[in-house]
Amino acid sequence: MKIKVLKNVMLKNNALGADNRWKFKKNSVFVLNMTSSPGAGKTTLIKNSLAEFTGKYKMAIIEGDLYTSRDAEQFTDFDIPIYQINTEGGCHLDAKMIHAAIEDLDLEELDFILIENVGNLVCPATFDLGADRMVTVYSITEGEDKPKKYATMFEKADIVVINKMDIAPHLDIDVDKVEAEIKEVNPGCKVLRLSANQPESLKEWYEWVRKEIESKSGE
Amino acid sequence: MHESKVAEYVYEIVEETVKEDPELQNRKITQLVFKLSKPYTVYPDSFCFYFEELIKGTFLEGTTLEFEEFGEDESQKGFYLASIEVEDPE
């Protein structure tokens, strides 16, 4: 005998993601989920963003890492709450982990939460965390062909940051082609080119983040 | 590899479905049928590996897993538990 169920399995995660989103909205806190391959430059971009925004906004970091707290240790100079999640081998953060993290954070006191996801261009795309926006950091050393190869990640991104532009002259890569491919996968996506380690190249990025924080706090 | 998490979600959904449906209680579950859309966000081979490990020693041990793609006329996207097959009552 066959019993029809037809349940979306990912709703198990997404229902909690929706609950997180509601809590963020209630407290007018802007939440950004940062994804990329390992080594694409998320941590460097976060470090410079902290230097730019701490003092202007009340921030917190939720730091995802398989086993270590190496990334989180880079943020200890900033006087902000850092919540470390170790997935113990798990390849992504899920909504339940963020749910536990925000129990520990004083949302009412915050304007902006940065979530650094596990470095992985596949799995984090499938798990809604309840964040307002997802940024995918893509370094030009990863090659021209990745947006279509890892289409789900690029499809879901609200903004793609093409990183390590400072070494572009030394690489055999056509960045226009990369950008065109990103737009093909996700026509509405914003694309920025920068070098995360060079704060002077981050103006457009800061501007985008600032607008998002302001529009959330004004809701 | 996120299939290990998805396997846990499926286990919970089956448990809940059985709890809610008296027709399913005290019946051996023989098959779970999944439906999925392209591009895959859950890979059947990987999912089976984790799920079969997870159900060892549980009420689902021995259940077979079947995967079908959503047809063009179906609007669902993603990975669904479509149906549960149980042994007929004696």
Per-residue pLDDT of chain A (219 residues; tens, 9 = 90+): 889 999 999 999 999 999 999 999 999 999 999 999 999 999 999 999 999 999 999 999 999 998 899 888 999 999 999 999 998 888 899 999 999 999 999 999 999 999 999 999 988 998 999 999 999 999 999 999 999 999 999 999 999 999 999 999 999 999 999 999 999 999 999 999 999 999 999 999 999 999 999 999 876
What gap in Å lies between CA A141 and CA A153, rounded to an integer?
A: 18
Q: Which pTM value belongs to this model?
A: 0.89
**Chain A hits for B79, Cβ within 8 Å:** 8-10
Cis peptide before B44 (omega within 30 of 0): no
Under 8 Å between Cβ of B11 and B60: yes
Contact of B54 with chain A, judged by CB distance below 8 Å, is answered with no
CB atoms B85 and A1 under 8 Å: yes
Mean pLDDT estimate for chain A? 95
Contact of B17 with chain A, judged by CB distance below 8 Å, is answered with yes
Token output for B87: 């042994």
H or E stretch at A30? strand A30-36
Contact of A13 with chain B, judged by CB distance below 8 Å, is answered with yes
Q: Which of A5, A122, A127 sits opposite B17 (nearest CB)?
A: A5
pLDDT in tens, A66-125: 889 988 899 999 999 999 999 888 889 999 999 999 999 999 999 999 999 999 998 899
Query: Can you tell me the ipTM of this complex?
Result: 0.91
Check pLDDT > 80 for residue B1.
no
Cis peptide before A81 (omega within 30 of 0): no
Torsions phi, psi of B70, nearest 5? Answer: -65, 140
Q: Give residue B28's pLDDT.
A: 93
Under 8 Å between Cβ of A5 and B21: no
Token output for B7: 């396997």
Q: Give residue B26's pLDDT.
A: 85
Q: Give residue A219's pLDDT.
A: 67
